[in-house]
Structure 1
Amino acid sequence: MNTSQPRAIYYVVALQIWEYFSFYGMRALLILYLTNQLKYDDNHAYELFSAYCSLVYVTPILGGFLADKLLGNRMAVMIGAFLMVVGHLVLGASEMAPVFLYLSLAIIVCGYGLFKSNVSCLLGELYHPEDPRRDGGFSLLYAAGNIGSIVAPIACGYVQQEYSWAMGFALAAIGMLAGLVIFLCGNRHFTHTAGVNKAALHARQFGLPNWGWLLVLLVATPLLITVLFWKEWSVYALIVATVIGLGVLAKIYTKAENSKQRKELGLIVVLTFFSMLFWAFAQQGGSSISLYIDRFVNRDIFGYEVPTAMFQSVNGFAVMLCGVVLAWLIKEGVSGNRTVRIWGKFALGLGLMSAGFCILTLSARWSAAYGHSSMPLMVLGMAVMGFAELFIDPVAMSQITRIEIPGVTGVLTGIYMLLSGAIANYLAGVIADQTSQSAFDAAGAVNYAIDAYIDVFSEITWGALACVGAVLVIWLYQALKFRARRLAAQA
């Protein structure tokens, strides 16, 4: 039996590394760019940042549809990567006019939609359905992405501080371009994957061939999203997407054939709700926490001021390091009730999130007392928050893939990403906005209120702890029910 991975996977992995480098490098700079360079007030910056982070979880639904019907996964991924290169280059020109800022973010959102929903599907095409190498391939892809997310904030943050904002964004574009070039060099290894559906592209609909409508869509969608950013209307797009998603979920529930399937769906719905709250807290890392670090944390090491953007690497590093340790230490047993274990892991993840924000609250109180906080304390808090992620998404996604309702796994995954990604990022923006309390001194300089950060970090600490309490109640109920069933079976 051949145990080596197909050659094509290494080109997909390289593309994934550079896509993560591009996306997370730009993301680490964005909130700082809006406030420090463009001089947006915190409210406006949080609004735009959360809108951008929300819409990148909505467009993959359209991207997946286009790949399935017209483009194929390989072509969709290449077009998506190219659009992200263009978007990051346009972002570098946004200091000249706000329209370039909105347009660049819109182009990146569209590129991400075509890329993110299809790169995993492309990887899946490299294997036969029963190929035992499949799980190893997806593990490799996940690990590779984390490498990009660790390196990107360090590299882009350094280039931005030493040269310019435009150079920082250009480095993100160069990274994505490098990934695309590497991928194209391995094109001969993908000849067996599905290509462009030429018959469907040339079929006519409403007076135009589908390729014509595709071009219209590729031009109109970035322009539409630009308007959503400009007019601050992105929340309406989220509402529409959420209503449709919940409607589809209700339809799946009504078509469930038995109580076991309905119970599994109910479990997924509740897990998704707590995941949404978890990520609304966790996504403070790119917004309010980043601005807190920039304003109130002593970043000096032997005379060198560490760029704020570099702190975004802490999360990815914690996920990788703790993930390896957990994989080595924990061996999942077959005994016991799986539902009980699921709620136990969720309680641990939410508890770690609460602990991370407790450390951040301590850091903010230290800043209030002494004018600034220490960098190690900040790194510790962010690392604990990164560790918490390992007990949320992997657990929820594993449960979704286990559901015994045919043909709904992909839809449920999309709904999960919509709620725990798009809606969570919108809520994260609402939470972050509570830190935007500032005043002007007699000289006209801005004084940011450290008390606002103390209040918000403390409220998140208690909010996450309240979620832990709710999850523990569910865990205890499930444990007692399982014990009662086992005793009844023994009797």
Structure 2
Amino acid sequence: MNQNEGMLEPHLDKLGASNKTVFGHPAALFVLFFTEMWERFSYYGMRALLTVFLISEISKGGWGWSNAEAMGLYGWYTSLVYATPLIGGMIADKLTGFRKAILIGAFLMTLGHASMALEGFDANFFYVGLGLMILGNGMFKPNISSMVGQLYPDTSSKKDAGYTIFYMGINAGAFLGSLLCGYLGEKIGWHYGFGLAGVFMFFGMLQFYFGQKIFGVIGNKPLTTEEKSKQVVDKDEEVIPPNVVKDRLFVVSVLMIASIFFFLAFEQAGGSLSIFAKDYTQRVLEGNAATSFKWIDALLTLFPIVVVTIVLLALAKKIFKQYPLTIIFTLLSFASIAALGFWKIEREFTSLETEVTVSWFQILNAFFIVMFASAFSKLWEKYWNPSGPIKFAMGLFLVGFSFIVVAYGASGIPQGAAAGAVRVSMLWLILAYFFQTMGELCLSPVGLSYVSKLSPKKLLGLIFGFWFLASAISNKIAGVMGGMIDEISAKYSLSTFFLVIAIMPIAVALILVLMNPMLKKKMHGIN
């Protein structure tokens, strides 16, 4: 047993949580892994469809909105999704506890998807569904991230690795949601895509509900003053001087501000990059290209199903006897996913025409995450573990570089070119999503881990709420900037539009490198 594992078991015992481990991490992490996976299936499945649905012709079941109008709604929706966690974190800290907040959020999101699936009967159902999704995300998102952090001692080097594994679950859900909801929505009917996401959110809620005891006291309803006095308190938390807390919160604030510049670029995926995929990317394939795509798409569909099935079976082996319903509901949901995946593959191979869906490009980010998350986890844990600011700088540079790639790919599109007039190779978007993913692996899971390690325990839910509030700001900016795609393209060029987006995160990356020595000092030993 290595030192980290020796620290982990007594930490879990103290919290009354299961000390069983899967792949060297708490089994409870993987219950959160699957819960978050289905929530991300829900969110990204809908996100993959939203802009495309709004700008698609009415004759194709869409609403026929302009790019600017669609990006306006997209920006408001995604920003509110990330703003409400501030309130959800406060509610969990003061009233409900993390677990109950997660269940409330999951239930609201299930209702939201059900409402969106009825948009064909009345457009108001669509807006009601968006509202429920916003509220549900607010209750769910900050609190499940907070629970992950509490599974590890603050000094454990496994914490970053644990968040990276958790992030792999996020992206497995994002991949499958974008793939299957996007495919059903674009090929069969929009309401099928919107509705499917809700089914698996419901499964996620059930598997979490029946596995709650695995967490011990983590995430319980906030205790009374008398109950708190009887608990074993983390001694390190009691003796942290106020100036250290202040310095660490300053570092958290800098990282939050930097994350805004990352996500205002990254969140173009559901906005301007979707518009670029729909209007300026060659998506109708023929001959060998079509055959190759069908095989690649089939492998991409099967790969995450196989990977996550391995994780699920490893978890089932450890906890099935204690938590059978949790495993049964997860197995049922994954069997359904596998059936849908095989149906999609069979349908594509028998189709006479090969047209890549717009939403297909959004699976690339999640696929690359699932593909490389373990490698990054091992890199940070065993080989090279630079400071948080340096990891953030790497992430910002890579996301900026991804837009330089798209700008180069779009350089042959003339100023003011009409939608569909010129189409470029799919390769540019594929490369862009690859570099964005490498940047995301440097920044997002590390950001969650640093917020958890640098924040005072009593403010953890609130600080996570602020982390997602920063994402809300970036999503709103992303919507505004994405809505300018037609204006900038007409006045300058589409390539210029993407270069403007590229410059900002790269500039912030350089600033973080310069600030790194000072920020490391203000962390006071949290590395």
Superposition TM-score, scaled by structure 2 size: 0.68
Among 57, 60, 71, the residue aligned to 1:46? 71
Residue in structure 2 matched with residue 311 of structure 1 by the alignment: 361
1:461 aligns with 2:502: yes
Shift of 1:373: 0.9
Residue in structure 2 matched with residue 14 of structure 1 by the alignment: 34
Shift of 1:313: 1.1
Change in Cα spacing, 1:188 to 1:351, as seen in structure 2 (3 Å) is closer
1:372 aligns with 2:392: no
Shift of 1:52: 0.9
Shift of 1:361: 0.6
**Pairing 1:36-75 to 2, within 5 Å after superposition:** 36=56, 37-75=62-100
Residue in structure 1 matched with residue 312 of structure 2 by the alignment: none
Whole-angstrom CA distance in 1 between matches of 2:254 and 2:477: 18
Counterpart AA for 1:436? D
Between the two proteins, what is the percent identity of the paired residues? 29
Among 169, 180, 183, the residue aligned to 2:205? 180
Contact 2:154 2:453 in 1 (8 A): no
**Pairing 1:33-432 to 2, within 5 Å after superposition:** 33-36=53-56, 37-121=62-146, 139-186=164-211, 257-258=242-243, 262-301=246-285, 302=290, 303-329=353-379, 341-368=387-414, 371-403=422-454, 407-419=458-470, 421-432=471-482
Which stretch of structure 1 is more off in the superposition, 52-61 or 4-13? 4-13
Say which structure, 1 or 2, has more relative contact order (CA 8 Å, 6+ apart): 2
Shift of 1:105: 0.6
CA root-mean-square deviation: 3.8
Gaps of 5+ in 1: 200-254, 439-447, 483-491
Contact 1:29 1:309 in 2 (8 A): yes
Superposition TM-score, scaled by structure 1 size: 0.72
Whole-angstrom CA distance in 1 between matches of 2:366 and 2:469: 22
Contact 1:431 1:456 in 2 (8 A): no
Gaps of 5+ in 2: 1-8, 10-18, 57-61, 225-239, 291-352, 522-527
Change in Cα spacing, 1:160 to 1:470, as seen in structure 2 (3 Å) is same
Whole-angstrom CA distance in 2 between matches of 1:66 and 1:267: 25
Counterpart AA for 1:363? G
1:4 aligns with 2:21: yes
Change in Cα spacing, 1:451 to 1:143, as seen in structure 2 (3 Å) is same
Shift of 1:4: 2.6
Q: 3-state SS of the aligned residue for 1:58?
A: helix
Q: 3-state SS of the aligned residue for 1:372?
A: coil
Whole-angstrom CA distance in 2 between matches of 1:333 and 1:455: 39
Q: 3-state SS of the aligned residue for 1:309?
A: helix
Contact 1:19 1:148 in 2 (8 A): yes
Shift of 1:134: 7.6
**Number of residue pairs the alignment of both structures matches:** 411
Which stretch of structure 1 is more off in the superposition, 133-142 or 164-173? 133-142
Q: Deviations over 1:229-259 (max 9, x none)?
A: xxxxxxxxxxxxxxxxxxxxxxxxxx9844x
Counterpart AA for 1:21? F
Shift of 1:84: 0.8
Contact 1:59 1:112 in 2 (8 A): yes
Contact 1:282 1:385 in 2 (8 A): yes
